[in-house]
Structure 1
Amino acid sequence: MRNPRDVLTPDSLAMLHEIAVAGSFAAAARTLGLVPSALTYRVRQIEEALDVLLFDRSSRQARPTPAGTELLREGQRLLQDIDAVAHRVRRVATGWEPQLTIAIDGVISPHTILELVQAFYALHPPTRLKLRDEILSGTLEALTSGRADLAIGVGVNASNVAGLQLEVLGDSTFLFAVAPHHPLAHTPEPISDAHLLQHRLVAVADSAHSDNTSIGLLGGQDVLTVDSMQAKLQVQLRGLGCGFLPIAMARPYLEAGRLVARRVARSERNVRLHYAWKGSAKPPGRALQWWLEQLRSRATRIALLENHHHF
């Protein structure tokens, strides 16, 4: 018996589809420029390889059996996939990358990122996108380790990393915030470290594989560690802990009275954020070029840092 892979070729799938559309072997043979016996022989080869009957031959009409209907349906999908692969290969040959991976820090607006993704897909590029959520030095590590092609929201010093292209995204200011029912919402300001030490801090774990530290911890302080800024925000909204949040992320909740900003004795945190990619002798692919072009827009950079106003 022949191997199904030998008979299920694009040509044979197209032939079976033509038989189903024409309604008979004779009509399909005329359309395909074959003698009916040759067409019948080819169909029989496929049926023998699959060990199924594809067409009911009890009448003059060629009606697909349930097995034949399934093969026709899957065959059309396979033919479409082949066309899509051919299209993708042709586009990749014009300078588009097969895949672009973007590491995105937790302080970046997910809404703006998705708006950019939508605009990117409107180009109908062959490039597949992969988005990675990262925190602190993990955003940079994803790039330097080769797990990402572009990093947005790098807040650690990367100026000494060889082969890295770095541009300023903007500054992100963090304020100390608690839920209105949290005990620190009523503590006299500025709140000292001694007072902070008595309350649970909500921290975001560094996503770097080589580091699981967080920023802003006091020695001996109870800490609840989460793996994203959104989780940290939700925990603090419930009053389960206190901590610093980006002003832009906290603002709608401050305005709604669901968070209260508090002044602490320790200095306010202000972080300069960058976007980075690996430089090379040859120009970047067209997908990376497109993203870098968007990031050169001041309005886009501001939106990436400020557009958190969605509940």
Structure 2
Amino acid sequence: MYRAKTTIEQWRILQAVVDFGGYAHAANHLNKSQSSLNHAVAKLQDQLDVKLLEVKGRKAFLTEAGEVMLRRSRHLTQNVRDLEELAANINQDWEPEITIAVDLAYPKKFLYPALKTFYPASRGSRLRIIETVLTGTEEAITEGWADLVISPMMPRGFLGEPIAECSLHPVCHPQHELASLEGPVDLNDLQQHLQLVIKDTSKTPNEKQGWLKSEQRWTVSSFETAIDLLLENIGFCWLPDFIIAHLVADKSLHRLAIKGSSLRPVICYVVKPKPDSCGPGTNLLYQTLIQQSAFNTSFQE
């Protein structure tokens, strides 16, 4: 088993000597004697058999090798500091890891600013962001495997705060047969054409949601794949407006008008599946998502 020759304290002393421009100022900052710092750095160099510092006048300067070693040592001491802070946070019931399930229907332009705000206060907690769809999102709530869930549906017995809204629109290629029909498209017309469907991430998918009456269906795992197929003039698909707006605007895709309904409005909620067991980090992220939400003004009224 490997045993380290050096100690974290030796590297901290070396960093202080460099950062404060010499042994005297570093000793004052660390509340140690100058001789103890001299001894620690000298021992460090002997243990490594590498010259790290050279003294010119009253100032200590890094050698070329010392610059490389110092740079790497800062990562080491920071990791130790983070590790110690994480241990303290665990003792204070701050979660070492937070899992958030995010349905693909949620506009992530609201998610990223919230995560950016949350990060400085996250206390080193790891964050797992898992994308889900349809029943898979519902399972994240009902089975409680995620600490937070952003969902366009609310299973019975659960509560959530609305944080965004969007709408799903049926689209196809401008040269698709459906795009050439005059007037609104009849549902019978849709049933005769290939429909692209986003894969349900549930362990036991239950295709009960959405319009799924087409005899022909291709299932894909992402919006990006669906769009790639649409751009090749393959099938039609219901997609969120925030995904397709620019493609419809530049006429790469055609938005279908359908008799009875040309869009499906969606409200996304942030849900705490197990609210009584949420730790302080989860609660902070929950509040941050609400504050950064599209409905923020309504919450402040």
Fold conserved (TM > 0.5)? Answer: yes
Instruction: Say if 2:193 and 2:214, in contact at 8 Å, map to a contact too.
Output: no
- When residues 168 and 237 of structure 1 are mapped into structure 2, their CA distance, relative to the original with a 3 A threshold, is farther
Instruction: Decide which moves more: 106-115 or 181-190.
Output: 181-190
Amino acid of the residue matched to residue 245 of structure 1? L
Instruction: Decide which moves more: 202-211 or 115-124.
Output: 115-124
Whether 1:33 aligns to 2:26 is no
Question: Partners of 2:71 and 2:2 in 1: how far apart?
Answer: 20
Instruction: Say if 1:178 and 1:260, in contact at 8 Å, map to a contact too.
Output: yes
* Superposition RMSD in Å: 4.3
What secondary structure does 1:300 align onto? coil
- When residues 293 and 26 of structure 1 are mapped into structure 2, their CA distance, relative to the original with a 3 A threshold, is closer
Question: Partners of 1:28 and 1:251 in 2: how far apart?
Answer: 59
Whether 1:279 aligns to 2:274 is yes
The superposition leaves residues 251-282 of structure 1 with CA deviations (integer Å, 9 ceiling, x where unpaired) of 55445544222215799755665432223545
Question: Partners of 1:27 and 1:292 in 2: how far apart?
Answer: 45
1:53 is matched with which residue?
50
Per the TM alignment, residue 109 of structure 1 is displaced from its structure 2 partner at its CA by 0.4
2:159 is matched with which residue?
166
- When residues 212 and 66 of structure 1 are mapped into structure 2, their CA distance, relative to the original with a 3 A threshold, is farther
2:204 is matched with which residue?
210
Summarize the alignment of residues 189-204 of structure 1 with structure 2, pairs less than 5 Å apart: 191-192=185-186, 195-204=189-198
**Paired residues, number:** 290
1:117 is matched with which residue?
115
Per the TM alignment, residue 232 of structure 1 is displaced from its structure 2 partner at its CA by 2.7
- When residues 15 and 68 of structure 1 are mapped into structure 2, their CA distance, relative to the original with a 3 A threshold, is same
What secondary structure does 1:110 align onto? coil
2:240 is matched with which residue?
246
Per the TM alignment, residue 226 of structure 1 is displaced from its structure 2 partner at its CA by 2.0
2:101 is matched with which residue?
103
TM-score, with normalisation over the residues of structure 2?
0.72
Per the TM alignment, residue 231 of structure 1 is displaced from its structure 2 partner at its CA by 3.8
Question: Partners of 1:35 and 1:294 in 2: how far apart?
Answer: 50
Question: Partners of 1:171 and 1:22 in 2: how far apart?
Answer: 53
Summarize the alignment of residues 39-78 of structure 1 with structure 2, pairs less than 5 Å apart: 39-40=38-39, 42-43=40-41, 45-47=43-45, 49-50=47-48, 52-55=49-52, 64-78=62-76
- When residues 72 and 301 of structure 1 are mapped into structure 2, their CA distance, relative to the original with a 3 A threshold, is closer
Instruction: Say if 1:54 and 1:67, in contact at 8 Å, map to a contact too.
Output: yes
Per the TM alignment, residue 152 of structure 1 is displaced from its structure 2 partner at its CA by 0.6
Whether 1:232 aligns to 2:229 is no
- When residues 3 and 121 of structure 1 are mapped into structure 2, their CA distance, relative to the original with a 3 A threshold, is closer
2:293 is matched with which residue?
300
What secondary structure does 2:110 align onto? helix
Instruction: Say if 2:6 and 2:47, in contact at 8 Å, map to a contact too.
Output: no
Instruction: Say if 1:101 and 1:132, in contact at 8 Å, map to a contact too.
Output: yes
1:261 is matched with which residue?
256
Instruction: Decide which moves more: 264-273 or 288-297.
Output: 264-273
Whether 1:290 aligns to 2:284 is yes
Instruction: Say if 1:10 and 1:79, in contact at 8 Å, map to a contact too.
Output: yes
- How many percent identity over aligned positions? 22
What secondary structure does 1:209 align onto? coil
Per the TM alignment, residue 159 of structure 1 is displaced from its structure 2 partner at its CA by 1.2
TM-score, with normalisation over the residues of structure 1?
0.70
Per the TM alignment, residue 103 of structure 1 is displaced from its structure 2 partner at its CA by 1.0
Equivalent residue for 1:185, pick from 166, 171, 179: 179
Instruction: Say if 2:194 and 2:214, in contact at 8 Å, map to a contact too.
Output: no
Per the TM alignment, residue 189 of structure 1 is displaced from its structure 2 partner at its CA by 5.1
The superposition leaves residues 23-62 of structure 1 with CA deviations (integer Å, 9 ceiling, x where unpaired) of 88899889952548x945x556545654x32347799997
What secondary structure does 2:293 align onto? helix
- When residues 21 and 280 of structure 1 are mapped into structure 2, their CA distance, relative to the original with a 3 A threshold, is closer
Question: Partners of 1:58 and 1:272 in 2: how far apart?
Answer: 66
Which structure 1 segments of 5+ residues have no match?
A: 304-311
Instruction: Say if 2:11 and 2:73, in contact at 8 Å, map to a contact too.
Output: yes
The superposition leaves residues 68-120 of structure 1 with CA deviations (integer Å, 9 ceiling, x where unpaired) of 43322222222233334444555565564333221111111011111222232
Amino acid of the residue matched to residue 116 of structure 1? A
Question: Partners of 2:148 and 2:93 in 1: how far apart?
Answer: 17
